[in-house]
Amino acid sequence: MKAPLQTEAELRHQIWRELQLATHDRHHEWRTPVLATLGAHGVPQALGLEIPARKRPCTTLLC
């Protein structure tokens, strides 16, 4: 088992790593992430996303 990430920088690095891997591996678990929330009436609403290839310097990740 991997050791847990200790710092925000380590976590951010690992997130970028997984997103970059997902752009090249069609079967990667992060290839089609889903953003979900509850709507005004308490009904779940979800949006599936396709991760396009991106380069780290031109993209911002907000945590």
User: Which residue range forms the structural domain that includes residue 18?
Assistant: 8-38+46-58
Within-domain flag for 3: no
Q: How far is Cα 12 from Cα 7, in angstroms, rounded to an integer?
A: 9
Each residue of 4-58: pLDDT tens digit?
A: 768 888 888 888 898 888 888 888 888 877 788 988 888 888 877 766 655 555 5
Put simply, whether the predicted model's pTM sits higher than 0.85 gets the answer no
Using DSSP, state whether 34 is helix, strand or coil: strand
- Identify the pLDDT of residue 1: 43
Q: What is the count of structural domains for the chain?
A: 1
For residue 1, tell me if it sits in a domain: no
Residue 20 belongs to a domain? yes
- E runs forming strands in the chain: 34-38, 44-48
Helix (H) or strand (E) holding 15: helix 8-24
Residue 14: inside a domain: yes
Alpha-carbon torsion, ordered 59, 16, 30, 21, to 10 deg: 100
